[in-house]
Chain A
Amino acid sequence: MSRLTFENVTVRFGALTAVNDVSLDVPDGMVVGLVGESGSGKTTLARAGVGLTPMQVGRVLLDGVPIPKRGSAGRVQMVFQDPYSSLDPRMRVGDAIAEALPTPIARADRDDHIAHLLDLVNLNPAIGLDYPARLSGGQRQRVAIARALAAQPAVLIADEITSALDVSIQGSILNLIRRLQTELGLTMLFVSHNLAVVRYVAQRMAVMRDGIIVEEGPTAEILEHPHDPYTKELLAAIPGSHLPPKT
């Protein structure tokens, strides 16, 4: 069992209320998509989920137990948007992954673990000895996922993990996320501005706007019968939603 629950979360930055009394449930073994445009508060909510952003009101529960203020000590992990910022340029890939391992382990075991994790994200284990500068964006993002998995998290939060990647790379990361979810039964909050991407990976989704969740439910249902006017507007704005091309 691993279930992440946001309970009446409010986050303010000075006069700006980024997240306003949001409650959201990420059920065990499920991917929940969180969709919204820039400024909607989706990233802030995600960061609050791992304790990176302090909440003014509300709490985040893991399996019904509040996560301590100083963070979840690895039980909830996060993968970030920018693969160029998420790996320490001075640290070998393997060391970066090892740092996230829950308990310090023997050298030999450690290397096995790292190799296994790299293999899990379709990377050649030899990459563990490289520095991030030698990796492409897609490879870095895989390493970031491996690092998050190293902590043996109960829940994974993915924040716009494909939006900084080239379109041809994006697909393979999405395939990986789907495969990991079915193989490992991961519970995941998948934050994205891209409805089509969320549709592809998430069983449930929530639409956020101006710090409030305007609609939440099974992905297919929302996409087919959106209730909120904003959700409808979002759907209508997606390129390709009114093919064929005009002449």
Chain B
Amino acid sequence: MDGLKRVIRTPLGVAALTMLVVVLGLAILAPWLLGAKAATIDTNNLLALPSSAHWVGTDSLGRDLLARTLVATRLSVVLALSATLVSVTLGLILGSAPALLGHRLGRLVTAIVNILVAFPGLLLCLFFAVIFGVGQVGAVFAIGLAGAPTFARLCHTLVAGVEERDYVAAARIAGGSRASVLVRHILPNIAEPMVVQATIGAGSCLLTFSGLSFLGLGVQQPAFDWGRLMNEGLNRIYLNPLAALAPGLFVIMAGLAFNLTGEAIARIFNVETSGSWLASGVVPSQPGVTASAHGIARSDKTVLSVNNLTVDFPGVTPVRGLSFDLHQGEALGIVGESGAGKTLTGLAIAQLIEPPGVVGGDVVFLGETLRSDGGEEQRKLLGTSMALVFQDPLSSFNPVRRVGEQLAEVSRVHQGMTRKVAWKRAVDRLRAVRISDPERRAEQHPHEFSGGMRQRAMIGMGLMASPTLLIADEPTTALDVTVQKQVLDLLDSIRTSEQVALILISHDLTLVGERCERIIVMYAGRVVEDLSADALPVAQHPYTRLLMEAVPTLATDLDQPLAVIPGAQPEPSIEITGCAFAPRCPLADDICRTSSPTLAPVASASGRTRNKRGLDITVQTTRMLLRLNLGGKSTPVHTGRVACWHANEPLPETSQLDDTSPSLPASTESTHDVDETVVTP
């Protein structure tokens, strides 16, 4: 079993399983080996204190307490497991009933379970103990029934979670009955968490059982379990504390054995789901590509200067060697697919990468070199001059605090405003981002806002002070098209009226081309092209060009298949030599696969001797221009940088590029649950 192997590999797992084996071993062996000793009555040794003959002493009939404690393992464990079995069985039935019974009846079952689950197990247990009467069989059912609601609730939650998955819907469409869907699709997918819970449940059943026996409500004489032994020992705690504590120790050990085993299994699942801090895909380490010189004309006021920016996480370098300058009021777009490193780039510029992430290179903002451990002064500078807008406006606001309060906080902390003045400013800023009735809105919580309104409020938060740079990371991806337009228009107007520089991070090349002056195209953590938006039609990197043709627009030729970029961005675990795009590139040759191209000004790229087909390029360019409805304009000029051995060479016809070989390495879009790449011949 693969799961067992992984449990053994953790220290917690080893400890847990060892204890479990000891407990189960005792349960099997002790009654055989020590059963006689535990039952031997010795009238000469009544109520003896611990001695070398009787380590824990003897009871009122002179029986050895250690032997009795060891022998009691079997009954304690068997009773606990029986109670667990009752709980789990009932819980599974009640918990999966809603999936079988359909809406009305299902909801009734759920409601009953929800009421029962509110009562603590011990209380339910006492209730059932009254009904079933005192004794071990009654206690098994009492504890089993008392535990059932918790299991039912858990099972129901898990079932409901799986039921929402589309594969269940697909199975229903295919004509599967409720029962067959439950058995084929739902139960297998909740098995693991149920096993964990049952293991932990066995632990708590054992503890509860010892409690009941301790109270005298569980196992009755002459039978004995640990709880019963403790009950008998408590009366003599002054004379022989060990008589009560020794069985107690075994209770704890057995309880721990079950609980820890459950924990250990659960932890293994957790390990796989955690690691979310590496939000974006990551790529393997390789020396960064430096290119500080570039051909973009500078205006006077540089707001931000980024030089050879890298982001490192242990073992991976998701951003490698990014350099650019940004001027007052300028809009720069950073474009790439998910996992290209664009989000991390934004966070790195804003000094928001947290350990174990490490930012390398220089970021100079308004003349200050930023540092990740920057002091009070840098905090103030960034707090007032750099604003950030994130992708999901709902999760980006603190759900439990009023919107106005969250805006006002900026001015209170960084500008020393009083609560009242800061609130007024917040209302004013909400008005500035065109939120109607801002006084009332400021009093509301984020969940009372609509999506577009939230994003505007987030922009308003950035405007509390007087920002010179606004970094917007996919600010409209979570929004509808019409709302997206409003938000982008708002960003445009802020940029022009307040001369705020903008970094717009997006996966949408068309959108960025429309809203920005300059575009940086990222692929697998590298900059592959840096060009002015005007020059998009004459983009030189095959990736940029294919990306433009792969996404349908309202001008796409309906008679042609869309361009296809086969495969996907390389997995972080794959070491890349040469150009990262080579495996997907129709122009790739041996040079591309062996040596990494540097980001160089376009002029030198087009002067390379490789590029002999000048005529083809012009034809290609013209066709692109026509396709993009730019007919009336003069041919744009590419004055940026590109990293490609075959920059601007003509691409094969798109029809030859259909994705007939789906066997390329799995993409970063699938990093959530893909450990290995699909390798098919």
Residues of A bordering B, CB below 8 Å:
37-38, 47, 50-52, 71-74, 76-78, 80-82, 84-91, 96, 99-100, 122-124, 126-127, 130, 133-140, 142, 144, 147-148, 151, 165-172, 174-175, 178, 193, 195-197, 199-200, 223, 233-247
Set of chain A residues within 8 Å of B534, measured between Cβ atoms: 244-245, 247
A168 to B546 Cα, complex, angstroms: 8
**Contact call B568/A223, Cβ cutoff below 8 A:** no
Q: Which of B165, B658, B676, B680 contacts A127 (CB 8 A)?
A: B680
Set of chain A residues within 8 Å of B485, measured between Cβ atoms: 236-237
**Contact call B481/A71, Cβ cutoff below 8 A:** no
**Given A135-B678, A137-B669: A86 and B166 interface contact (C-beta under 8 Å):** yes
**Contact call B338/A135, Cβ cutoff below 8 A:** no
**Nearest-CB distance from A129 to chain B (Å)?**
10
Q: Give the contacts of B95-136 with A (CB-CB under 8 A).
A: none
Asked if B222 lies at the interface with its beta carbon under 8 angstroms from chain A, I say no
**Contact call A135/B658, Cβ cutoff below 8 A:** no
**Contact call A137/B630, Cβ cutoff below 8 A:** no
Set of chain B residues within 8 Å of A52, measured between Cβ atoms: 169, 172-173
A127 to B680 Cα, complex, angstroms: 8
A178 to B663 Cα, complex, angstroms: 22
**Contact call B480/A37, Cβ cutoff below 8 A:** yes
A47 to B166 Cα, complex, angstroms: 11
Smallest CB gap from B508: residue in A: A239
Smallest CB gap from A147: residue in B: B170
Set of chain B residues within 8 Å of A139, measured between Cβ atoms: 662, 666, 678
Set of chain A residues within 8 Å of B165, measured between Cβ atoms: 85-86, 88
Asked if B562 lies at the interface with its beta carbon under 8 angstroms from chain A, I say yes
Pick out which of these stretches binds chain A: B8-16, B396-404, B552-560, B595-603.
B552-560
Set of chain B residues within 8 Å of A88, measured between Cβ atoms: 165, 167, 171, 185, 188-189
**Contact call B482/A174, Cβ cutoff below 8 A:** no
Smallest CB gap from B486: residue in A: A237
Q: Which of A99, A196, A237 contacts B484 (CB 8 A)?
A: A237
Set of chain A residues within 8 Å of B171, measured between Cβ atoms: 88, 99
Q: Give the contacts of B597-619 with A (CB-CB under 8 A).
A: none
**Contact call A134/B666, Cβ cutoff below 8 A:** yes
- Give per-residue flags for B658-679: 1 if the beta carbon is below 8 A from chain A beta carbons, else 0: 1110110011011011111110
Q: Which of B174, B188, B481, B511 contacts A234 (CB 8 A)?
A: B481
What are 27 A-B pairs with beta-carbon distances under 8 A?
A: A52-B169, A74-B174, A82-B166, A85-B167, A90-B188, A124-B662, A124-B681, A126-B680, A135-B670, A136-B678, A138-B568, A151-B174, A167-B550, A168-B546, A168-B547, A171-B551, A174-B562, A175-B562, A175-B564, A200-B556, A239-B508, A240-B511, A240-B514, A243-B628, A245-B517, A246-B515, A247-B517
A124 to B679 Cα, complex, angstroms: 10
**Given A122-B658, A171-B563, A239-B514: A73 and B667 interface contact (C-beta under 8 Å):** no
A236 to B484 Cα, complex, angstroms: 11
B contact residues, total (Cβ < 8 Å): 76
Asked if B326 lies at the interface with its beta carbon under 8 angstroms from chain A, I say no
A93 to B7 Cα, complex, angstroms: 28
**Contact call B174/A196, Cβ cutoff below 8 A:** no
**Nearest-CB distance from A197 to chain B (Å)?**
6
A74 to B175 Cα, complex, angstroms: 6
**Contact call A167/B547, Cβ cutoff below 8 A:** yes
Q: Which of A90, A126, A142 contacts B681 (CB 8 A)?
A: A126
Asked if B507 lies at the interface with its beta carbon under 8 angstroms from chain A, I say yes
Asked if B503 lies at the interface with its beta carbon under 8 angstroms from chain A, I say no
Set of chain A residues within 8 Å of B77, measured between Cβ atoms: none
Set of chain A residues within 8 Å of B555, measured between Cβ atoms: 240
A110 to B659 Cα, complex, angstroms: 26
Set of chain A residues within 8 Å of B662, measured between Cβ atoms: 122-124, 127, 138-139, 142
**Contact call B680/A124, Cβ cutoff below 8 A:** yes
**Contact call A166/B660, Cβ cutoff below 8 A:** no
12 more A-B residue pairs beyond the given contacts A137-B669, A169-B669, with a C-beta to C-beta distance below 8 A: A51-B172, A52-B169, A71-B172, A77-B173, A86-B165, A88-B188, A127-B662, A135-B666, A136-B670, A172-B562, A243-B628, A245-B534
Closest 9 CB pairs of A and B: A171-B562, A86-B166, A239-B511, A80-B166, A240-B510, A171-B550, A37-B480, A237-B485, A172-B659
A238 to B669 Cα, complex, angstroms: 25
Set of chain B residues within 8 Å of A122, measured between Cβ atoms: 658-660, 662
**Nearest-CB distance from A32 to chain B (Å)?**
16
Set of chain B residues within 8 Å of A137, measured between Cβ atoms: 667, 669-670
**Contact call B568/A169, Cβ cutoff below 8 A:** yes
Smallest CB gap from B174: residue in A: A100
- Give per-residue flags for B151-188: 1 if the beta carbon is below 8 A from chain A beta carbons, else 0: 00000000000001111011111111000000011001
A197 to B546 Cα, complex, angstroms: 17
A122 to B680 Cα, complex, angstroms: 13
**Contact call B513/A245, Cβ cutoff below 8 A:** yes
**Contact call A240/B513, Cβ cutoff below 8 A:** yes
**Given A127-B678, A175-B561, A239-B508: A86 and B672 interface contact (C-beta under 8 Å):** no
Asked if B319 lies at the interface with its beta carbon under 8 angstroms from chain A, I say no
**Nearest-CB distance from B318 to chain A (Å)?**
16
**Contact call B189/A86, Cβ cutoff below 8 A:** no
Asked if B212 lies at the interface with its beta carbon under 8 angstroms from chain A, I say no
Q: Which of A50, A196, A240 has the most CB atoms of chain B within a 10 A radius of its CB?
A: A240
A240 to B509 Cα, complex, angstroms: 9
Smallest CB gap from A165: residue in B: B669
**Given A167-B507, A178-B561, A244-B633: A144 and B170 interface contact (C-beta under 8 Å):** yes
Smallest CB gap from A77: residue in B: B173
**Nearest-CB distance from B362 to chain A (Å)?**
29
Q: Give the contacts of B172-210 with A (CB-CB under 8 A).
A: 172-176, 184-185, 188-189
**Contact call B554/A71, Cβ cutoff below 8 A:** no
Set of chain B residues within 8 Å of A74, measured between Cβ atoms: 173-175
Smallest CB gap from B566: residue in A: A172
**Nearest-CB distance from B443 to chain A (Å)?**
25
Smallest CB gap from B333: residue in A: A245
**Contact call A90/B554, Cβ cutoff below 8 A:** no
**Nearest-CB distance from A166 to chain B (Å)?**
5
**Contact call A171/B564, Cβ cutoff below 8 A:** yes
A140 to B564 Cα, complex, angstroms: 17
Set of chain A residues within 8 Å of B509, measured between Cβ atoms: 167
Q: Give the contacts of B483-532 with A (CB-CB under 8 A).
A: 484-485, 507-511, 513-517
Set of chain A residues within 8 Å of B48, measured between Cβ atoms: none
Set of chain A residues within 8 Å of B43, measured between Cβ atoms: none
Set of chain B residues within 8 Å of A85, measured between Cβ atoms: 164-167
**Contact call A172/B667, Cβ cutoff below 8 A:** no
Q: Which of A71, A133, A236 contacts B173 (CB 8 A)?
A: A71
A74 to B173 Cα, complex, angstroms: 6
Smallest CB gap from A142: residue in B: B662
Set of chain A residues within 8 Å of B629, measured between Cβ atoms: 243
Asked if B337 lies at the interface with its beta carbon under 8 angstroms from chain A, I say yes
**Contact call A223/B173, Cβ cutoff below 8 A:** no
Set of chain B residues within 8 Å of A242, measured between Cβ atoms: 514
Q: Which of B189, B508, B554 has the most CB atoms of chain A within a 10 A radius of its CB?
A: B554
A200 to B480 Cα, complex, angstroms: 20
Q: Which of B515, B551, B673, B675 has the most CB atoms of chain A within a 10 A radius of its CB?
A: B551
Q: Give the contacts of B648-662 with A (CB-CB under 8 A).
A: 658-660, 662
**Contact call A166/B678, Cβ cutoff below 8 A:** no
